[in-house]
Chain A
């Protein structure tokens, strides 16, 4: 029996989260096949073929599929999963994975499990509910498990000795009822939030979009990704794609530095699995200190430049 893994990528680079999916897939099935969908993305398929544990890569390309149309990719995954040999279909808990996998589950007439953080056995899964305030352990009775996984909770697979075989497969045509208009991507040169080893996040304490440059300078010095609290996003300091929290991105880096962030439950749900948490806040009562390994009660406008100077 096999597991199908939907590759996470931007048509140029395969995201490391895919490696975690491969390892998770091997806990549910004997073999793992990676499905790469998009446009002009053969390079991604090549990268996927070089992940240890992958036995095959399916490449489905179409010039009008760079934006990952859910209707068409869902149909492809349903067709691939309908071979009687598929035990699981996996994607990351990204906007893309969440957009597509519920469709796959519905068309296969099985349940979908979202944001899985642990696989206890082939039928038993753990996932956060209520914004991470509770963990639910669920048994799925379905013949095919359709899961989105929090990649940061799983170990990434390494590199293969020899690449797995690749096969081209047509992506189902669009029927014209959904048309891609445009995309406005931030195009930052910094690391992606989910995969970064260090994340520096700023909150409302920064006070303005201009002051957010303090966070960005520190991040660049450390090669870190930049994140933000919902308050900072709502105040317009940064774009919502940087929001760390239950309704934004969920990260678990080696080091998470929260600057000027009070630590609302919403935010904690997105970062509390980080290995080491540092909080810099002038309010000693801020809830962020209750989860921080190292807390510094200080004015961020003096502490952050000082920190930058000492690194």
Chain B
């Protein structure tokens, strides 16, 4: 069984977000970039399925400029067997990403497609669902556990009121939530080995995909700052102020 994992290169989760002074976007020049944390979780799950003998091959795909090869190498150091780099600009919309991934799914015919539930830059939470719809595959988003057996995947999903369990027949699309697993760190020998693993390069034309722009960014701005208020001395003062000043308590 083949698993396809899609990963995105994003600003490192621990780096402070700086907005460009002309409000044209977030300043990523010279910023430390990394694999989107939710994509790391999706990849970890795929690698674990391979280690359990459930999967025979883990293929990782990323879409963007040549820089995403860095994340593809990182993914192979973590256990992916080979990589596909789809050349494109770095700011593709979710729908374009989903269309390109659909073409990759068509070529690779994976039994399971694993993605992070969202990228921590655009926070869209869309690509997995769009891909499932375009490929007409069953979907299970926000997975907190994944088990594969007999042509099915059983997924526990994080929903607003608690958890929900679905069983999907394969092939299927699953997106990873935060608590699915704790991703491992790459070991040095694996990083060395990953340099020799194959990366195939494709582009939208080779995949036969026509891309279209649907959204235009007007500006990216700082959120309104919330000012620190006052420190109260004790509980009595707090209660009095909440009642009389803020009027949020009866």
List residues 1-31 of chain A with CB under 8 A from any CB of chain B: 10
User: Contact residue range for chain B?
Assistant: 35 or more
| Most chain A CB neighbours (cut-off 10 Å) among B17, B19, B123, B226 | B123
Query: Which residues of A sit under 8 angstroms from B16, Cβ to Cβ?
Result: 133
Binds B, one of A34-42, A155-163, A302-310: A302-310
A169 to chain B, nearest CB (A): 20
- Identity of the chain B residue whose Cβ is nearest the Cβ of A304 in the assembled complex: B235
The answer to whether the Cβ of A240 comes within 8 Å of any Cβ in the partner chain is yes
Q: Of B11, B123, B126, B223, which contacts A102 at CB under 8 A? A: B126
**Is B139 a contact of A70 with CB atoms below 8 Å?**
yes
CB of B167 within 8 A of CB of A138, answer: no
The interface residues of chain B lying within 8 Å CB-to-CB of A289 are 228, 231
Contact B169 A176, beta carbon cutoff 8 Å: yes
Q: How distant is the Cα of A111 from the Cα of B217 in the complex, in angstroms?
A: 13
Interface 1/0 per residue, B139-161 and A, CB below 8 Å: 11110100000000010011111
Is A254 part of the contact surface with B, judged by Cβ < 8 Å?
yes
Q: Which residues of chain A are within 8 angstroms of B125 by Cβ–Cβ distance? A: 98, 102, 114
Are B11 and A130 interface neighbours, CB within 8 A? yes
A180 x B166 contact (CB < 8 A): yes
Q: Classify the secondary structure of A's interface with B.
A: mixed
Instruction: Please tell me if the beta carbons of B235 and A105 are within 8 angstroms of each other in the complex.
Output: no
For residue B35, give the distance in angstroms from its CB to the closest CB of chain A.
Answer: 16
Are A141 and B159 CB-contacts (below 8 A) given A102-B94, A135-B222, A182-B165?
Answer: no
Given A106-B130, A177-B138, A183-B162 in contact, is the A255-B235 Cβ separation under 8 Å?
no
Interface of B (DSSP majority class):
mixed
- Expressed in whole angstroms, the Cα–Cα distance for A138 and B219 within the complex equals 7
Q: Are A111 and B214 in contact (CB under 8 A)?
A: yes
Given A102-B125, A241-B158, the answer on whether A198 and B98 have CB atoms closer than 8 Å is no
Q: Is the CB of A111 within 8 A of B162?
A: no
Asked whether A112 is an interface residue with its Cβ less than 8 Å from the other chain, the reply is yes
Please pick, from A98, A102, A133, A310, the residue contacting B239 in the complex, using a CB distance under 8 A. A310
Decide yes or no: A111 and B121 within 8 Å by CB, A135-B220, A178-B168, A296-B231 being known contacts.
no
**Interface set, chain A 258-310, CB cutoff 8 A to B:** 272, 275-278, 284, 289-298, 303, 306-307, 310
Residue contact B26 to A179, C-beta cutoff 8 Å: no
Report the stretch among B52-60, B77-85, B104-112, B242-250 that lies at the interface. Answer: B242-250
Is B230's CB within 8 Å of the partner chain A? yes
Check A204 for interface membership: any CB of B closer than 8 A.
no
Does any Cβ of A come within 8 Å of B215's Cβ?
Answer: yes
The answer to whether B169 touches A138 (Cβ under 8 A) is no
- Check if B236 is an interface residue, CB within 8 A of chain A: yes
Q: Which residues of A contact B163 (CB under 8 A)?
A: 183-185, 241
Q: Does B89 contact A (CB under 8 A)?
A: no
Is there contact, CB below 8 Å, between B238 and A294? yes
Considering the complex, which residues of chain B in the window 171-186 have a beta carbon less than 8 Å from any beta carbon of chain A? 172, 177-179
Q: Could you write out 15 A-B pairs with CB less than 8 Å apart? A: A74-B133, A98-B129, A103-B129, A106-B131, A107-B134, A114-B124, A134-B19, A139-B215, A139-B218, A178-B166, A180-B164, A249-B160, A276-B246, A297-B231, A307-B239
